[in-house]
Amino acid sequence: MAHVKGPRQEFRVVVSGMEVPPDLQERLNVAIQRATLEVFADLDFGGDRAAVALPLEVKGQTQGIWIAQVARKDAEGLVGGIG
């Protein structure tokens, strides 16, 4: 994978003061990732650029998604390409 240069933004959801059962945590995680990917899928990066989305896993559990804009030639063949 090519090194990605440029700005970086992170978006997080923090739930404080309430217990969130594991099944609800997973539902929220999936819904947030789906909404994010839908927005990026609608963006036009031009013919020579593409967005790539890959899962971020910690100890075998998906904790988020990594999205980067890369040269289309670098995105070819990667699982999760969305642009």
Phi then psi for 24, rounded to 5 degrees? Answer: -70, -35
Nearest to 52 by CA among 32, 42, 37: 37
pLDDT tens-digit series, residues 50-77: 777 777 777 877 777 777 777 777 766 6
pLDDT tens-digit series, residues 15-56: 899 999 999 988 988 888 888 888 877 777 677 777 777 777
- Rounded to whole angstroms, the Cα distance separating 33 from 54 reads 11
